[in-house]
Chains A and B, each alone.
Chain A
Amino acid sequence: MSTVTGTTWNCYDSATMTPREIYGRTLAEMAKTNDKIVGLTADLEKTTAMIYFAQAFPERFFNVGIAEQDMMGAAAGLAKCGLIPFASTMAAFASMRAAEQVRTDICYQNLPVKIIATHSGISFGHAGTTHHCTEDLAIMRSFANMTVIAPADGIETSLAVRACMDIPGPVYIRIGRGFEPPVFQDENHEFKIGKAIEMNPGKDLTIICCGIAVLQSVLAAKQLAEQDGLSVRVINMHTIKPIDREAIMKAVTETRRILTIEEHNTIGGLGDAVGSVIAESGKGCVFRKHGMQDCFSEIGYAEDLYSYYGFDADGIVAKVREMMGLEFEADENWEDE
């Protein structure tokens, strides 16, 4: 397990810093004691918060200009020198523009390149579809050797950035635009790649979510407890790959209703990862995937879009209510399934 210690900023700061700032500072902090860490960006050092690293360690920071494919190829080259490159750009460009470089140069050669992809999902709403990214989880999950993480907030991003150092191969960390409200108050909880975190206990239904959906699901669970007397389990599935099968199977057998929520196309992302675990188990349960329903987003500010697409607590409450009306095979005899 990786712990967060020895930082010059404290928990109080992290509550006021944006997720981008937090990871930017975390990275600069880590690089103080590890001279193998190098940084890359493609004309987005301020936008991605690599600037903290860039200012502290100009001799091992490389801004390649607006050239994402070149950045990922160069990251592979740096890794071949025994270095640990952190490459950061917007998710759309990291996962799509440079997809083959990530797959062939980084994953195929199994190099320890850590990709920090910002502005994921529809968090950059008013920028339009070219700057949205509701495909990256699907793309990155399908690359062998790749670990895929979608932290819930800035604190978890910081924990993920530290923890990814323990992974010998490539890691893709997906964050939002950087203004998302925090879920965690401090860093005092265990963060282990591949191990989901139960945010709220429950027995009627389980929400399995990642990213911005975690905070909203926690709020929705509270609302459902108060208004409907429902006990809703909320699982923060911060690691999309490798997925925590145990947490999913526990939810299947204990709650028998599962709703996945992701700021991503419902094809290929968290929902499908969870769904295939359920299907392979042969157990029956009520299962729904909530996310972008195979469409490109409307234009608008993220907050407006989140409520329009039902990613806010109200939208999630409505989804859960809908699912509570659905039937699953009610007997406890699993042998016939």
Chain B
Amino acid sequence: MEKKELARYLELCKELRLKIVDVMTWSGGAHVGGSLSIVELLVMLYFKYLNVNPKRPKWDDRDRFILSKGHAAAGYIPALAMKGYFPEEELKSFNHFKSPFAMHPDCNKVIGCDASAGSLGHGLPMALGLGLGARYLKKGFKTVCLLGDGECCEGSVWEAAMAISNFKLTNVIPIVDRNHFMIDGNTEDEMALEPFADKWKAFGFDVLQINGNNIEEVDDALSKAWRMTVPTMIIADTVKGKGVDFMEGNVKWHYASADSALAEKSKESILKEYEEASRCLQ
């Protein structure tokens, strides 16, 4: 990737992380940890890969995106605003009375959102249906489904995985945000997922294992997935709370609210990391 392009994505990631902190403040509480971990994935999907048009959010042939880990709405909804689906100003209403934006996305209220989510384990079966539907209707759109690693405890995830591979779907791209935590603790202490890649392989997938907080690795994996010839999925190894040093890898920040002091401290950390990354680019 060219430096200029990389610089642009770095900048977008920084912006999205700052917005997540804003939402955490405005909303009175948000799933920050799992929103910060998927920033690179959201930016690369919405600003490079997904063929979508904010001016025609319901366009039939658009690529679809399902945030199966719906609690990361605090990352997803600001990304939709940055993409231009609605004014960023509206994010201030997050969680408040009659707002279109809640802790979990509602596709009948959030413009640009393809599927309501929040109850874990529902996204991949819907992605399966979109994939089967697209194939039957001879449409070329892709469906990307972003899951949590903890979410993969749900049996329905594996029922859909089995079917995607059985039906040899190459238009569905499951991505797991492997940030190593659920609510009550580390996945390996609470309900061990490892050997995680082997499980997906046993279900018939080509598995792309990447550092999901590295823009170039995300870019590379998505470009491969977009050209897949056999069912392929991505395990994106990430850090929960990525970008805010005191939140990183700390289960305490799964869900939190922020006063202005905490927001300030969080933003400082985001900016510091961004400056370092930019400096490395030069």
Contact = CB atoms under 8 A, between A and B. Distances in A.
Which DSSP category, helix, strand, loop or mixed, fits chain B's interface? loop
Given A127-B103, A299-B102, A65 B155 contact: no
Interface string A25-57: 000000000000000011111110000000000
Interface in B190-213: 190-191
B23 to A, nearest CB: 12
B66 to A, nearest CB: 13
B95 A299 contact: yes
- Counting chain A residues whose Cβ lies within 8 A of the other chain, the interface size class is 20 to 34
Contacts of B153: 42-43, 64-67, 70
Contacts of A298: 97-98
A179 interface: no
Contact of B119 (A47, A97, A299, A308): A97
B102 A128 contact: yes
Contacts of B29: 126
Interface string B15-35: 000000000000111000000
Nearest to A66: B153
Contact of A45 (B97, B98, B154, B184): B184
A129 B119 CA distance: 9
B104 A131 contact: yes
Interface string A234-261: 0000000000000000000000000000
A128 B155 contact: no
Contact of A126 (B103, B154, B183): B103
A301 B95 CA distance: 7
A301 B182 contact: no
Interface of B: 27-29, 70, 95-106, 109, 116-121, 150-151, 153-155, 182-184, 190-191
Given A65-B190, A70-B153, A298-B97, 12 more contacts: A44-B184, A126-B95, A127-B103, A127-B118, A128-B118, A130-B117, A131-B118, A299-B102, A299-B106, A300-B97, A301-B95, A304-B97
